[in-house]
Structure 1
């Protein structure tokens, strides 16, 4: 018969309900369990909902309004607004009561005439590769890569950028050139993106001889990939004589279009005529998102320079490859043998140097890779990292979360995701040390704008070769690098991964100088990555 309190549920006579275990009190317990389950489920929904809401970026914001100020153990500048460096273009005061400087004012004197004047016109149009293949992309003055710019050290260069048909807007960043802060070409930080029909003028003195390149820094992960780029060479002011004949000087700009590796816009072998016994300098420029390896088939070579800076005491190399990470440059020198030689960059692409008809054999990529930590001869650097004014950490990890409302696995810097990434704050004249640690599961080519940094160590092993100065440094998964630089170029500078989709996914920070403001806003028309 029915048990007490359970009129709708029959109970077997063989299992009578014990008076010591009444059924009625179970109902409040069940209600409590249900309530706790509902609350737990609500919590499971509420936490992601809060994380999603917190990840949403405002429609526009200043570079100084993002991130977390990191003083690197140094003193905090006094009387500065917005992260100690000025924010959103509002005028602030420096520690001595002087008005802060807008990044727009960081430029060569307006009354100094240009030594070199160039107009570069950006277009969205098909790009024809050397083998006749046509791909959708962008051009500069009708070609991709754009025109090679060669200037002489010390010249004032003036470039007028015209956007004829790049719908997303565009800019030009002078990769590796330590330009004044206002000329860096980063949309939303140093300028507004140039809209269709607009133009922008860049002016800078080419202070340092070397190999560099230019590319868009607006929607860069898409515009660079599709060809809005070109090479820039600054030749030494005193010339480069080499024995009885001047050395040949050739740019080898490497870029992939729709998965096809090219050199100077051509697939396969690119030829440069050179007499046997002559010396050739080959400037390899890596413009893709991943690292490449370059080596020479048919002749020994020397590595003369990295990222625009000459190495001291480079020795002859054979059967060894040189890694050139994304954004980096490597200058190789070789003496042309009678049968010619090949400067290989992988992917079936090479620069063949030699007399007409030369057909040197392509050799496979060497197993051994040059270690720049020990290559060359030590020399004074003019920098004393042991007396650093500020020391920063740049720790790269990947974790799940939301970025601007999108769920996924995202890059973090010092445990935080964009926009809560570090704002490394320095004062002009500071000696800065930075430790970059990568435990993210992928390698990252780290690019610091406006400065060259000296590599001090890798995984605790000190650098013992030539001073190794970089602006684009490959930090492999599990690696730790120590670098140092002098804060001698005021501005607001990006410090980001040059695998550009990684930057678009949050692997970016800023180096800001106290007292420098920017009136430009990120978001809306300005999307640097």
Structure 2
């Protein structure tokens, strides 16, 4: 993030400097008096040196990113922004600076006509404007349109548009210079010169806005989501450099004898259910501990209900929709259910409309802490409360704890403003635990952003990440904080001491908001909160994951996902878009794999936000961070990738189907940060879009 912010500040500063220099240089012919001219020209020269130094610093920053993080972090900038910067800055160095130096040492003997000719020379002014526009484009793309993987056509178009915007100021400068050379130029009053300058700026702005408007008009129409689709982008099939699949060169695969439809990928569900739940999606007014109220969307009228099973059991969950107008589903987040049970409307099932039901059935193969939520317009539905926890106990009694507490946190919009709560508890909770007892905390972040947690008053261990146990976890100091990705889960254990222990959510140092105080014999007095000394890093914790993927030297397929952002239209509405490889869904690539292959994916975050990347149906083993092999590879299903970070992860293609792979900041997924992984022998069974009502996010 430091590099991005620094780049932004540099480009904005340089843009402002060149606009100042350009405005001042345009007024050079009108400065009277030898001393005033000397001062004016000297200032312009030194400001130009400063602008050039800042531009050089920006270039060094980009090169250092290349050296430290790799080509993929800078590819878009070097292919698009750098050529534009060179077009602006090379003439500046070759012509403008020498002219400014010559003007600075001019003597009083220089005739006014010669001075007028020199100070209006297009080679003095046009490069300044070109440098200002180039720096402005670089500044714009830092925030509003991260260049990621541009092709030759995109590069040529950007350079062409840049040159087109330069036409107006260049024309005015050249016309003035020609008039001076012919002796027909007259010095107009100041108000006329200011008016002409304003009109020139307005004309340039109109040209620039016209170009942007034309592009926006094209984007507006291209952004409309199809009325119906099978959710796969068949025009951009990314096979990861592996051997050709059955998808290659085929759009209709029904004739392949080995093809199977998603709806048939149910797994073996012939055995009777060992445990059965019924969940009714309904609207229900909920009152929080503080008294705040919200019209929540719930399962069974309860905030975040907990479902439990034992490893190996056949689980059956019947979902019924009472009054959620747009329909609902259940996605088992992090749980590798068969594809037909994954709960993605339009991909693995049809949405469950009011009055309808759908039964999920699968065998609980994985033990650990998981959660479930609706995947129908999830940015809205999860925000309003359609989620709960899913706890699977190990088949053999291996518990090394005495007390167990599940805490699932979420942000709510209540009648008293935004509230953060563990379920419906938005204030301090107090729980009595006898000293010496081992406490297991199952922490689930159902919020739309990562959350920081503190556990103070006792050393502790993080024993599991996203349901997968950590091998030989180390003890952590009570001043070590940990951050949980949106959608992520940690299991945390500590031994209750003879004094209170505090679990606190968030960065604030006061005791407002959700927290839990564990105490022994007597309820505690207010306890103090200590500042953190370090932040937990899973890449340097415990022993490496027990995975065959950590020793693989050659993968069957390798995919790259560059995460960016840009301002634009999505489904006909202006929005801040979050992109994968420069595109938004449904134009993002479809990743194609074969069953049994070992797959590597590289996440590269060039955007201005964190992105918890969540792959359905599979666990990812983290191998590298920022190009370096991590000390302790770990297994996750929701990997938080911060700005300017790069991760290499791997998984085995062992769960056939069509799977979503998206950012779990659900607002990001809702405006494009989604793509899909498909096995080459799987065919769609459903369609997404307004025609079917299946609206996955």
Going from structure 1 to structure 2, the CA distance change for 1:79 and 1:41 (only over 3 Å counts) comes to closer
Tell whether 2:503 aligns with 1:338.
Answer: no
Based on CA coordinates, which of the two structures has the bigger radius of gyration?
A: 2
Of Structure 1 and Structure 2, the greater helix share is in 2
Q: Find the aligned partners of 2:247 and 2:575 in 1 and give their Cα distance.
A: 40
Partner of 2:565: 398
In the TM superposition, residue 379 of structure 1 has moved relative to its aligned partner by: 5.0
Output one character per residue of 1:101-140: Cα deviation in whole Å (capped at 9) or x when no partner: 1111111334211111100011022122223321122111
Q: Find the aligned partners of 1:79 and 1:222 in 2 and give their Cα distance.
A: 34
Q: Find the aligned partners of 2:494 and 2:399 in 1 and give their Cα distance.
A: 15
Tell whether 2:351 aligns with 1:183.
Answer: no
1:230 alignment partner, SS class: strand
Partner of 1:359: 524
Tell whether 2:208 aligns with 1:53.
Answer: no
Residue-pair matches, total: 479
Structure 1 runs of 4+ off > 6 angstroms? 38-44
Output one character per residue of 1:275-326: Cα deviation in whole Å (capped at 9) or x when no partner: 1100011011000111111221111101100000000111111110111010
Aligned Cα RMSD in Å?
Answer: 2.2
Partner of 2:412: 257
Q: Find the aligned partners of 1:227 and 1:82 in 2 and give their Cα distance.
A: 42
Q: Which residues of 2 match residues 389-428 of structure 1 at below 5 A? A: 389-428=556-595
**Farther off after superposition, 371-380 or 221-230:** 371-380
1:386 alignment partner, SS class: coil
Partner of 1:372: 538
Going from structure 1 to structure 2, the CA distance change for 1:67 and 1:117 (only over 3 Å counts) comes to farther
Q: 2:672 aligns with which of 478, 481, 506?
A: 506
Note if contact 1:320-1:367 (Cα within 8 Å) is conserved in structure 2: yes
Partner of 2:515: 350
Structure 2: state its 5+ residue gaps: 1-205, 507-511
Q: 1:248 aligns with which of 395, 403, 407?
A: 403
Partner of 1:229: 387
Tell whether 2:458 aligns with 1:284.
Answer: no
Q: Find the aligned partners of 1:502 and 1:47 in 2 and give their Cα distance.
A: 23
In the TM superposition, residue 273 of structure 1 has moved relative to its aligned partner by: 2.6
Q: Structure 2 length as normaliser, TM-score?
A: 0.66
Of Structure 1 and Structure 2, the greater strand share is in 1
Q: Find the aligned partners of 2:266 and 2:542 in 1 and give their Cα distance.
A: 36
Partner of 1:293: 452
Partner of 1:324: 484
Partner of 1:452: 619
Q: Structure 1 length as normaliser, TM-score?
A: 0.86
2:289 alignment partner, SS class: coil
In the TM superposition, residue 45 of structure 1 has moved relative to its aligned partner by: 5.8
Q: Which residues of 2 match residues 124-203 of structure 1 at below 5 A? A: 124-145=283-304, 147-203=305-361
Note if contact 1:66-1:420 (Cα within 8 Å) is conserved in structure 2: no
Q: Which residues of 2 match residues 87-106 of structure 1 at below 5 A? A: 91-93=254-256, 98-106=257-265
Output one character per residue of 1:463-494: Cα deviation in whole Å (capped at 9) or x when no partner: 112x4101111100111011011110111111
Q: Find the aligned partners of 2:404 and 2:605 in 1 and give their Cα distance.
A: 36
Q: Find the aligned partners of 2:410 and 2:667 in 1 and give their Cα distance.
A: 16
1:168 alignment partner, SS class: coil
Q: 1:108 aligns with which of 251, 267, 273?
A: 267
Higher relative contact order (CA 8 A, sep 6+): 1
Q: Find the aligned partners of 1:268 and 1:284 in 2 and give their Cα distance.
A: 17
2:246 alignment partner, SS class: coil
Q: Find the aligned partners of 2:247 and 2:379 in 1 and give their Cα distance.
A: 37
1:63 alignment partner, SS class: coil
**Farther off after superposition, 378-387 or 42-51:** 42-51
Note if contact 1:385-1:432 (Cα within 8 Å) is conserved in structure 2: no
